[in-house]
Every structure is written in C-alpha cells, then in structure tokens.
A and B are shown apart, each in its own frame.
Chain A
Amino acid sequence: MTATTFAWLVLLCPLVGTVVIALGWNRWPGRSAGWIGTAAIAAAFGCAVVTLVSIRTRAPEHRELSSTLWNYAVTSGLDAKMQILVDPLSVFMITVVSGVSALIHLYSVTYMQSDRGLHRYFAYLNFFVLSMLLLVLAGNFVILIIGWAFVGAASYLLISFWYRRSTATRAGLKAFVINVVGDVGLVLGTFFIFKHTGTVDFLKVFALTPHVFGHDSTDLVVACLLLGVGAFAKSAQVPLHTWLPDAMEGPTPVSALIHAATMVTAGVYLIVRMHPLFEQAPTAADVTAIGGGLTLTVAATIALVVTDLKRVIAYSTMSQIGYMIMGASVGAYSAAMFHLMTHAFFKALLFMAAGSLIGAMAGVQSLDRMGGFRRVLPFTFVSFMVGGLALTGLPPFSGWLSKDDILAFLDHRGGGFEILGVLGYLGAFLTGLYTFRMIFRAFWGEPVEEARELEHGHLAHADVPRNPMTGEEEDTDIGFPGPGHYIAEREMPMKVAMGVLAVLALIGGLIQIPGVDLGIERFLSTTFADSHLVRSEPSTASSWVGLAIGAGAALIAITIAYRVWVAEPGTATRVRERLPALYTFLANKWYFDEAIDFLIVRPALTVGRLAGSVLERTVIEGLLTGGAVGAVRVGSAAVRRWQTGFVRYYAAAMLICLSGVALYFLISS
C-alpha cells in the first residue's frame, strides 16, 4: 500500500470512531465510548506514522502526492474533487495532530468520566479530529474550506458542550459566527484565485500563480488578505480574537486540544500552505506579519492581569500563535511549523496540568483563590513547571529553540522586520512574566483550604456546584459538568498523557538545533523548494545570538516575577494602584469586545428589529398588502354598484360596449 492509501486511512479512523460512538450513544456502557474514541485516534496516529515513514523512503523530489477518490462538485469549470495532497507539510501536520489528539483523548477518558454526556463528548471530539485532519490533508480549496468549517463547527459544539450553561452557549455562538466570518474570507479569497487560475487544485494553482498573477498584483493581494481574514479568525488574531478567551467555557481537555494545540494553529498552516501565493503578494504578507506581531504583544499584556487560570493560558496561546503567524508571513516556514509543534506539546501539557489543578479546586478557576499547591500536587506541579518553562523559552526546553528560530529569521531578513523581531523579544519577556505569575500564584504561597484538605487525602468537592463565571447554581445532570473531579496524581491515564507530553515539551526541540541538525527544515524542504525566501537562512552564529537574547529575556522575566509574586508579595497590588488607568485598560482587554459590540452587533440587531417591526408593518402590511387587498375591495365595490338589477341599465351598458367594439374595428381596419 502506498502513502496515499494510509493518508486516507488516517481520515477513515476518526470517521468510523465518530459514527460508532454516535450510533451507539445509548448502548456503550461506562467509559467504553472514551476508549473507542481513543483507540480510533491512536489508530489514526499509527497510520500517520506509516505515511510519514513511507514518504521518507521516496526521493525528496517525489514527495508530493495527490490522490482523488471521487468527483465532489465538478461542473461548469469548477473542479472540486474529493482530493488530498500528501506532501511533507501535510504529513508533518497529521502526525502532530493525531499524536497530540490521541494523548488528549486518553486524558479525557478519566477527566470526563463522571459527565453524563460522555458519548456526545467523544463523538464530538472524534469528529473534531476528523475535521482537523481533513483540513491539513485537503488537496484543493473546496476540501480545505470544508475541513476549515468543520473544525469551527466541532469547536462550537465543544465550547457549548455544557449546553445548559448560558455562558457556554453564548460563547459558542460567538466563536461560530466569528469563524464563519473567517470562512467567508476563505471562500471569497478562493473566488479571486479561481477567477485567474480556473482551478481550485492546490498544485495547479501554485504552478500557475507566477504566470497568471503579476508581482503584488491587486487581485492577488486582495485574495491573500481574504485568506488572511480566514487565518486570523481561526487563529484568534487581533481583531478577530475575542472568541478565544470565551471558548474556555468548554471542558479543559477541549481547551487543550482545540483551543491550544491544533485548531487555532490552522491559520499558521494556511499561510504556510499558501506560501507561493503570499510570496507573490508581499503587501498581504506584510499585513499578516504585522497583525501577528500586534497580537503577540496585545495578548501578552492582557495575560498579565487576567485572573482566570484558563483564560491566562488562552491569551498566552493567542500570543504564541502571533509568533507563528509572524514567522509564516515573513518566510520562516519551517521555524513556524517547528514552533507549532513544540507549542502543541507544551500548551496541551499546560492545559492538562491546569485541568488537574482545577480538579483539585473542585472546579474553581480563579487564580485569586489558589495557592500553595506545590507539595500536594507534585506531579501536576512538575508538569506545569515543564510546560511553563518551555513556554517561557528557557534553555534547553523546546519552546526556546523554536520561538527564537522565528525571531532569528526576522532579524536576519531585515528591511524593517527587525522591529517585529524586537516586538518578539519584548513578548518573550512578557511571556516569562505572566507564566510565572500563574505558577507562583497557584503553587507558591500559603496553601489554600483545598490544598490543606488534599494533604489529608481529601479531594475538595463543592456542596452546590456553581458556574465559575456567573456564580449561578447548577446541577450535575446532562448538559452540566459531572459531579466528579479528577487530579493527575490519582488517575493513571491522565498521568500517562501528561508524562508523555512533558517529555516531548522537554526534548521535542532537539530535532532542530542550529549548527547541529535541522531535522524539520530538511524534511519540509520539498514543500518549500519553490520558495525564494527560505533560501536566505540566518547563519548558525546569528541564530545562536538570537537564542542567547531570548534566553536572557526569559531569565530576567522569571527573576522579576519571583520578586513581585514570591519575595515581596503585594508588589503587584502597589503597581496596580500606581497605574489605575493602564490596569483598567488591560483588565477590559483593550475594549475589543465593547468595540465589536458597538460597531457590528448592535447595528445588526437594530436593523433586524427595524426590518421586523417598522418596515414589515408599515411598508409591506400597510402599503403593499393593504394596497392590493384595498384595490380588490374597491374594484369589487365598484363592480357591485353596477349590479343594480334594472334591465334597462344592463341593456344600455351592452349597447355602449358593443358600439365601442364596433368603433375600434372601424378605426383599426
């Protein structure tokens, strides 16, 4: 069997998993749905590895394989086939996605075991993995858009998984609508490309691009900007990012899988996949690069003041994806993919550790309520530490090598891009600050009541479960979180999943070390063979200078964080009181939500209300309908008046009419 056969099998596994779990929704006993789901994804990972191995056995110039199963919508010049593209980039992605997904499924089996919607959960989760794999394997724009929208739908379903929480349904709706805005961007971008190339097939489009589009031609720039809208909506980049923090309403493993490791990085994948287009349209690439740089700083500043543990990590995700978008836009493709991979490892790990911590807090997520968990949750603490250090980018953790790989490329490319590089180092400093703010506040300090109880072997349980955002009372039936809370220290599957990811977060960076071995770059070189940007790689020496600066920024940040939150507690409060305006600005998340509400949501609803009430009632009911009905009524009244019953009137009318007809024929003949 060939590589493409196994790539199709990669898609088939989660599809079968979804259908099997969904159709047996009321039959699978206990946690069996979870094991079925995990097995399906593990099988997909197996097939992905086989694909990877089999594609590596081929000569580098024969590693782009396109495979078609059936005609999807082939009509009137459109050539949308059920088609996948198996090349090093997509194979790299399916391996990372299915691997991380399998671990998160494993974690979920115990983390979600007391939830009464367990079957629904695993059916959705399998469906998500299917969609994500379809997205990265897509061989043409139409299939890409399908995968793109499916991950959005799965994300919606899982954000509002606890559907009787109004906070969750509202967050889901917001995420979905913003993602549809992104879908529209993608579709319109495809139209512009199709207009010139006459095909939606990736390989054909890439081959035609240099011939049908001029350098930086208007249509191509518009097309790339529209693709960028899609990427920004999916990857939660400013200003289309407001859905991501709210998406934390979903169960924690969902945050780990969809809103950290896989789906939100789809925008990065898109830009990297479309690099032949973006390189031909540098104006659009510059815009997305600046957007990424902006996002990484904005998100990092907000993460400094947010107190909800999961939301801090969510803003951190935005910020890290900002790095990747920036890298992908300027031509640091393999560096961006490298960071995508290591970020998937350490961010999934951080969320899993956060889930364990939240379990120990009986569902409470506020950092204000946490403290002193270092001793009672040793495994969670170590995992959180590994994830945090990798995120901060301290040597030798994976995030250090991958993030600074992007920044070194920026500095090397020059031409104004150094400014973005500086922004990146500033972001690295802020990253260290907010990461260790989380760690110091949750694990250091005076142990809180929950931690003290756990020391006596007693896991905290709330008497009355409450929604952490609104304080509303909940029950634990379907549509609400289950009654159980779980910590990694006691649950083997959680421990295994976190342990594997911790090892990967620690050593995952070692496959690409400047001057030693550039594993990812070498593997992906087939995909980027047509690029003129990657040929100008930074030298090993300048890469190491970059690495040293990054490590320095991280170290300084950790030191400051230690002084602020451990050595001299109360410093943070003093700073906040000194700068109230800045604090309010950051705590309100730069007022993006308010701006969007004011500029888009309210006007749209007002127009709707106006159309529904005023226009419908006065214009349609009053004028048009009233007019037509009135005309019939007046007409019939007029005709009624003629029906007098007197024969002489009828005779007269007949005479008049007949003479009229006779006159007409006389004149016309």
Chain B
Amino acid sequence: MTLSILIWLPLAIAVVAGQLPARITGRLAAAGSLVTLGIAISFLARFKLSHPGLQFVTDQVWISALGIHYKLGLDGLNVSLVVLGCLLFSAMWGTGERVRATTKLVVYTLVGSFFMLAGAIATGALASSQHGTPLTFALSSLQHLPLSHGSQEWIFLAFAAAFLVKMPLIPFHGWLADGYKSMPIPAVAVFSGILSKVAAYGFLRIVLPLFPFATVHFQLLMLLICLVSILWSTSVAFTTPDARLVVAYSSVAQLSFITLGIFSLRSQGAQGALLQMLNHGLVTAPLFFIVAALAARAGGSEKLSDMGGIAFRAPVLASLFLIVAFATLAMPGSSNFIGEFLILLGVFRAKLAISVIAFLGVVGAAFYALRVFIGAMHNRPRPRVASRGIGISDFIPMGALALVILVFAFYPQFGLKRSEPTVNATVSSVVPPRAIVASPVTPAAR
C-alpha cells in the first residue's frame, strides 16, 4: 500500500459522494474518513522509529521538462500530523455546510500563496544556475544545493510572509476575525486545527533545511514577531466578548509558541513545536465544536455575555469543556504542557530574555481559558440560556478527541519518539553556523 492512497481515496470518495443523494453523502463521507484514518494509523504503526529520513517513498516523474516529481514520503516531521489530520476530519462526520470565504480571506491567502510560488520557483531556478545543475524542485536535492546568502535572505522573507499569513501570526492576521466568523464551525475547526499547521510544518520542512543561513540571520526577527504575537493575541483574548474569537486568538497564541519553538533553533524547541502542533489540533477542533454547542444553548449567540450557567443541565459537556480548557492553557500534566515546556526550554537556551517574557503568555492563557469556561458554564444562567445535555452525535467526536487528549497526557512520549531523529537532523542542518557557509549540508549526519 503506497502513500498515494491517503491522498486519492478521500478525493475519490468526495467525487462519488457528491453525485449521490444528501442522506447517503454524509454516511459515505463519514465511512470514508474513518477508513482513511485507519490507513493512516496503519502507516503510523509500521513507521520505523530510529530512521531520520523519508519512509514509504513514492517517486514518479510528473513534468519532466521542469524537473517536477510527484514524490511522497513520511518522516518524523509529518507522520503524526498526517494521522492528526485524518482524525480531525473523521471527528466532524455528518456536519456538511458550504464554506463561504470572505474577500479578505481570499486576498490574504492569494497574496501569501503568490509569495510562496515565487519563492519556490526562485529556489529551483537559482539553485540550478548557481550550481550549474539541471533544474529540480525536489527538496532532498535542493538541500544539497545551498543558495548564496543574498538569495537565501529574500526567498526566506517570501516564504515567511506566506507562512505567517497562513497561520496567521500577528500582525499578519487581518483576515482572522472576519474569516473565522463567516465560516461554519466545522470549516473553522479544519482551518484552525489543520491548515494553520501547514505553515508551521513548512518552516521545518522547507525553510530550515533550504535556507539555513537566512534562518540564522533572521532568527531574532522571527522570535520577536512571535513574542509580539503571543502578547498581543493573549491580551485580545482577555477582553474580546465573542467566544469564537477567544478560541481563535488563543489559537494564534499557540501557533506563535510553535513558531517560537522552531526559531529557537534548538532541538528541544523544535521537538516541542512539533508536539505542540499535534496538541494544538487536538484542542482547537473540539473547542470550536464546544463553542457551537454553547451557542446552541444560548439562543444562537456566541457572545460570552449571553451565556452563563450552562453546566447546570449539561454536566457531560461541562466536563469535556473542562478537560479541553485545561489542555488549552497547557496545564502541567497535559501533553500541551510538555510541548510548551520544550519550546520554552529551547528558547531559554537560545535567548533567555525572550523566553522569560513569553511566560507572560502562559499566565495569560490560564486567565482567558478559564474566563471562557467560567463565562459560559458557571455563574447564573442568562435569560436566553436553555441548558440541556449533549446528544450522542455531538458526544462521540468531542469525547473521542478528549480521550485522545487524556491518553496523550499520560504518555506524551508517543508524540515525541517518532520525530526525534528527523528533528535533530533538521535542526543540526542549521545550528552549527560554520557548516552552512559553503559545503553541502549532510541531512542525515546522525
């Protein structure tokens, strides 16, 4: 079984399901996503731990004139993310609403993608002209063809712009509020739980290995952007009246922590960032579902001031919310804590002052996470609140994700052990600055 099945099976099901009556579509989609999840888990089970390079590689020529290959593979960086993606898609079975994107979102993503496309073309073209080799876009080949410092710098900025918009980090988040508010909840959950991570993954997969000089050069800038982003999003989450936006801004804060960990350029920071990518998906998706469940009990309003006292008749919902809220604020004992611990430890060793200031974000998270929990669940019920327990179809996805959170809390090593060899290889391609000046980088030095 090759990796292609993970990509083409959902697409095939989507094409087929679209032709069928609505009632069957939902079931088929649910079954399809569960099968995909099963296949993904089977890859996870067969994944070899000590191997830093790609496994299960599929490699075929696509456009030979331009040196473009159709190449897939799993390694420590992406294996857990693939499973997470399948898990989250399975978790939102049965809820199918059309996604309406706003102009802002389209413009932002378009501009971001444009930067990225330009950066990608430039990388391939410049690598071949600077080294006199045939044109290629394969990451594994480009790793051995380092660009000149000047080219690395501007291409780094192009990629960074694309990724920072995608996540988004402050101040590149102009689309966030409108975009998140106009989308239906399952779309928001996918957007925030999975797509935002593509950008963080991009930093690890593309930027660090291909532009090591620029990475070191812009490290401080990136760390400062992350720091500002953490503090800003945390303080907005303090006061914003909208429950969905609190979750959105908390997501921004967590992504800022993830990027902070990557740009600590220490293996602890990168390991923490990778673990936190998993954790972030595991908490953000259920948080958005919970916001939907809360709104359904507060007369359709997502304003915290219209909620309150919902725990009263919905103890199961309240318990799930509590577990997810504690994980979101990275309470020690959750896997999120280990993620943040490693991230901050990495930053601590790289730039002590930034790490100390970033801790303000940790305290702030405790406040805003509990602010939403208390505001929605506790105190006296507001006039429009009609609390009721959650039905089985709402419980299964949220309960399953909460269960995964709890299992991870007991054993975060599960998320760490697969990625360690690859992360160490990635980070060590950047960190010894002498190694990146001229000679080709050996990706699997260990």
Q: Which residues of A contact B (CB under 8 A)?
A: 22, 25, 70-78, 80, 120, 142, 145-146, 148-150, 153, 156, 160, 163-164, 166, 169, 172-173, 176-177, 180-181, 183-184, 187-188, 191, 194-195, 477-479, 604-605, 607-609, 611-612, 615-616, 619-621, 624-625, 628-629, 632
Contacts and interface: CB of A to CB of B under 8 A. Distances in A.
B338 interface: yes
Contacts of A621: 174
A73 B412 contact: yes
A75 to B, nearest CB: 5
A598 B254 CA distance: 29
A194 B416 CA distance: 19
A609 B108 contact: no
A126 to B, nearest CB: 15
Nearest to A619: B171
Nearest to B234: A608
B367 A173 contact: yes
A194 B374 CA distance: 36
A22 B318 CA distance: 13
Contacts of B326: 153
Given A180-B363, A194-B345, A632-B111, 9 more contacts: A75-B417, A145-B332, A160-B374, A164-B380, A479-B312, A611-B235, A619-B171, A629-B107, A632-B107
13 contacts: A72-B411, A72-B412, A73-B412, A76-B271, A77-B268, A78-B345, A142-B341, A160-B374, A191-B348, A608-B236, A616-B177, A620-B173, A628-B108
B413 interface: yes
A148 B331 CA distance: 10
A74 B107 CA distance: 43
A538 B259 CA distance: 56
A389 to B, nearest CB: 40
B359 A188 contact: yes
Contact of A478 (B103, B108, B312): B312
B311 A163 contact: yes
Contact of B367 (A72, A177, A183, A191): A177
A163 B380 CA distance: 8
A76 B342 contact: yes
B333 A75 contact: no
B383 to A, nearest CB: 15
Contact of B366 (A72, A180, A619): A180
Contacts of B268: 75-78
B23 to A, nearest CB: 33
A195 B232 CA distance: 29
Nearest to B308: A164
Contact of A184 (B172, B177, B349, B359): B359
A115 to B, nearest CB: 14
B175 interface: yes
Contact of B342 (A78, A153, A611): A78
A224 B374 CA distance: 34
B284 interface: no
Contacts of B104: 625, 629
A72 B309 CA distance: 37
A149 B365 CA distance: 14
B238 A605 contact: yes
B58 interface: no
Nearest to A81: B413
The 8 closest A-B pairs by CB, nearest first: A625-B174, A608-B238, A149-B332, A608-B235, A608-B239, A180-B366, A163-B378, A76-B267
- Which DSSP category, helix, strand, loop or mixed, fits chain B's interface? helix
B377 interface: yes
Contacts of A624: 171-172, 174
Interface string B316-351: 000100000010010111000110011011001100
Given A153-B326, A166-B380, A173-B367, A76 B420 contact: yes
A21 B303 CA distance: 34
B141 interface: no
Contacts of A632: 107, 111
B356 interface: yes
Interface string B101-121: 001100110010000000000
Contacts of A605: 238-239
Contacts of A153: 326, 331
Nearest to B322: A157
Nearest to A187: B341
Nearest to B359: A184
- Which DSSP category, helix, strand, loop or mixed, fits chain A's interface? helix
B362 interface: yes
B371 interface: yes
A233 to B, nearest CB: 11
A149 B326 CA distance: 11
A163 B373 CA distance: 11
Interface string B153-197: 000000000000000000111110100000000000000000000
B36 interface: no
Contacts of B207: none
Contact of B424 (A71, A76, A166, A188): A76
Nearest to B419: A75
A71 B359 CA distance: 26
Interface in B359-391: 359, 362-364, 366-367, 370-371, 374, 377-380
A160 B378 contact: yes
B236 A612 contact: yes
A621 B108 CA distance: 13
B315 interface: yes
B370 A75 contact: no
B333 A25 contact: no
B391 to A, nearest CB: 16
Contacts of B129: none
Given A74-B413, A611-B232, A615-B232, A184 B363 contact: yes
Contacts of A181: 363
B240 interface: yes
A479 B417 contact: no
Contacts of B374: 160, 163, 169, 172-173
Contacts of B331: 149-150, 153
Contact of B379 (A77, A164, A176, A195): A164
B25 to A, nearest CB: 35
Contacts of A164: 309, 312, 378-380
A142 B370 CA distance: 23
A217 to B, nearest CB: 16
Q: Which of A74, A164, A181 has the most chain B CB atoms inside 10 A of its CB?
A: A164
Q: Which of B311, B332, B344 has the most chain A CB atoms inside 10 A of its CB?
A: B332
Given A76-B267, A153-B331, A177-B367, A169 B177 contact: no
A479 B387 CA distance: 14
Contacts of A120: 315
A197 B383 CA distance: 57
Contact of B416 (A75, A173, A629): A75
A72 B171 contact: no
Contacts of B311: 163, 479
Given A75-B342, A160-B374, A164-B379, A177 B363 contact: yes
A239 to B, nearest CB: 16
Nearest to A627: B174
Interface string B243-278: 000000000000000000000001110010000000
Nearest to A160: B378
B329 to A, nearest CB: 8
Contact of A620 (B171, B237, B266, B380): B171
Contacts of B370: 156, 172-173, 176-177
B410 to A, nearest CB: 8
B243 to A, nearest CB: 14
Contacts of B416: 73-75
A75 B309 contact: no
Given A71-B413, A164-B379, A629-B104, A146 B332 contact: yes
A625 B175 contact: yes
